[in-house]
Amino acid sequence: MTEQADQPGPVEEKAPASVETVEAVVRAQLAKALGGRRGMVEAAVPTILFTVMWLTTRELRVALVVSVAAALVLLVARIVQRSTVQFVVNALVGIGIGWFFVTLSARNGGSADDQALAYFLPGILYNSGYSVLMLLTCVIGWPLVGFMVGSVTGDPTAWHSDRQVVKLCTRLTLLLALPCLLRVIVQAPIWLAGHGGSLDADTAVAALGILKIALGWPLQLGVLAGMLWLLGRNSTPVEPAAA
């Protein structure tokens, strides 16, 4: 009886990473990241209100307060309905970071125009850093999507032993990096022109507000379609991992 009790139970085998695993993980992660139509709206509303209020009132504090108030209303609605608050919280965090940059600009003697432009700077910096990170993981042969797969299969690095999975994850990571690169390429020159005075500040703020929405979830949907197309046409057999 004692000997049987002391014997260890069967060891649960971890599922090997495969093309099918990658597809399942990517579909789940992207659906979660986008948050459906409601999540997309919740991400867009604060930016729309900030841009409209600034352009119509020229009162930066009013624009910030209105955008925060809208996000809080959306948050309360989520709490009352007992649904996930992730996307509203993400919007509030974004507003908070933008407000911090506005405050820094004010403390450094920035004009009202400079402060309004400062609201959009964190997004440009974030997309710059994120795109560099994803491209770097591809260059060194450890694409970021592979670690998403590893977190699901139970082994964070086993996927790297299958060259087909690495190749697929590299392509998917490059697709994920594309929206971030496009946002930086399009928005950074406008921000610099508005900050430097070669472009009217109001025009720059309006353009950045519109582009932040246009290059947000619509672009993510385009990337999602591209990733699903890539996954759908990937019919190369998976190479078995080395023993």
For residue 210, CA distances in Å to 19, 110, 125, 131, 152 come to: 37, 23, 18, 21, 36
**Neighbouring residues of 163: CB distance < 8 A, sequence distance ≥ 6:** 239
Q: Check: CB of residue 96 under 8 Å from CB of residue 79.
A: no
- The span from the CA of 91 to the CA of 39, in Å, is 10
Q: Which of 232, 230, 226, 224 is nearest to 40 (CA)?
A: 224
- The span from the CA of 205 to the CA of 199, in Å, is 10
Q: Check: CB of residue 71 under 8 Å from CB of residue 45.
A: yes
Token pair recorded at residue 235: 């019919």
- The span from the CA of 217 to the CA of 61, in Å, is 27
pLDDT value, residue 238: 40
Written as tens digits, the pLDDT of the chain (243 aa) is 454 545 554 544 555 556 666 766 666 666 565 556 777 778 788 888 888 888 888 888 898 899 999 989 989 998 998 888 877 888 888 888 989 999 999 999 988 899 999 999 999 999 999 999 999 999 999 999 888 877 777 778 888 888 888 888 899 899 989 999 999 999 999 999 999 989 999 999 999 998 988 888 778 778 877 887 887 765 444 444 444
pTM of the complete model = 0.77
What residue segments make up the domains of the chain, in order of their start? 19-233
